[in-house]
Every structure is written in C-alpha cells, then in structure tokens.
Amino acid sequence: MLGLSWGKAEETNELLGKLNGRLYLIQGNHDRFLKNKDYNASRFVWIKPYEELQDNKRKVILCHYPIMCYNGQYRLDGNGNPKVYMLYGHVHDTYDQRLLEQFQEITRGSIRENPDGEKRAIPSNMINCFCMYSDYTPLTLDEWILCDRKRREKLCADGSM
C-alpha cells in the first residue's frame, strides 16, 4: 500500500479494520495519523518509507517518492525483460508526473554500452501507483505493469506525451 489516509487516527483505525489480509505501509507525506497517540499501528506488519521486495524473481522498489535512478535499474533477465521495478506515488496525476514521463522517455531512448561491450537502451521501469490509475483497486505487480502500459499508450494517442 503506497500512502493510506488523510483522515484522523480514529478514522484511519476504522478504515484499517475493514481491510482484509496482511497489510504493509510505505509511509507518505500525508500519513500524519502515524504520529497520533490514538492511532493503532498493530494492523500493519511493517511501516517504512522505503523497501525492496522480490516478486516472481523481480526486485520491486517501493517508495512514496519517485526515485529516478533506482537500485538495479539496469538489470534485465536473459530475455531482456526488466528485473527491477520502481513503484511510487506522491505526484498523483500532475505536471510533475508528466515531467517524470518525459525523463523516462529520454532515459529509454539513451543508448549505453554495458561491461560486455553490448550497446542497449537504458531501462526505466518506474510506475506511478496513483490510486485513481487503478480505480482505487489494489493491483499485483503484473497488473500495475499492464495498467501503466495502457495508460501511457492512451497518453501517446491523445498527444499528451
């Protein structure tokens, strides 16, 4: 979960009581309830500002804020597929997100020689997990990858990118 609540501690506790499963929280700048003595953090396995996880032999970097040069960015599997994804929030669907998309396009269009002498484009697999992009529905990594691809294709078709 990337960011959670603008509500007060009591409202956030009530919301957490309605959620199923094991919960983990990547802390965001609006998660002010965490400092409230009435907030009950026991519903979470952990609360962190940054984490690196594994999902189907892929590294997933979680941070509320986008990290443009993230750990493992250049790693690809034997088939040339990304081995690392950077999931973030914070910028919502703003001008800052458009700037990040421009950065990713520039990065993906840049060619670099790897230590083996092979020249290839620089990967940039950053995904904005803004809740409105998924219609407020929790998604798996594979679903976020597909959602992000479709959203970018629509932006390109609309001439926004």
Tell me the pTM.
Answer: 0.88
Strands 84-88 and 126-128: parallel
pLDDT score of 44: 92
Give the whole-angstrom CA distance, residue 34 versus residue 49.
12
Average pLDDT for the chain: 90
The predicted pLDDT at position 39 comes to 84
> Dmax over Cα atoms in the chain, in whole Å?
58
pLDDT confidence of residue 1 = 44
- Indicate the domain borders of the chain: 49-158
Q: Cβ atoms within 10 A of the Cβ of 109, count?
A: 10
Alpha-carbon span 90 to 22, nearest angstrom: 23
Q: Which regions in the chain score pLDDT beneath 50?
A: 1-2
Tens digits of residue pLDDT in 122-156: 999 999 999 999 998 989 999 999 999 999 888 77
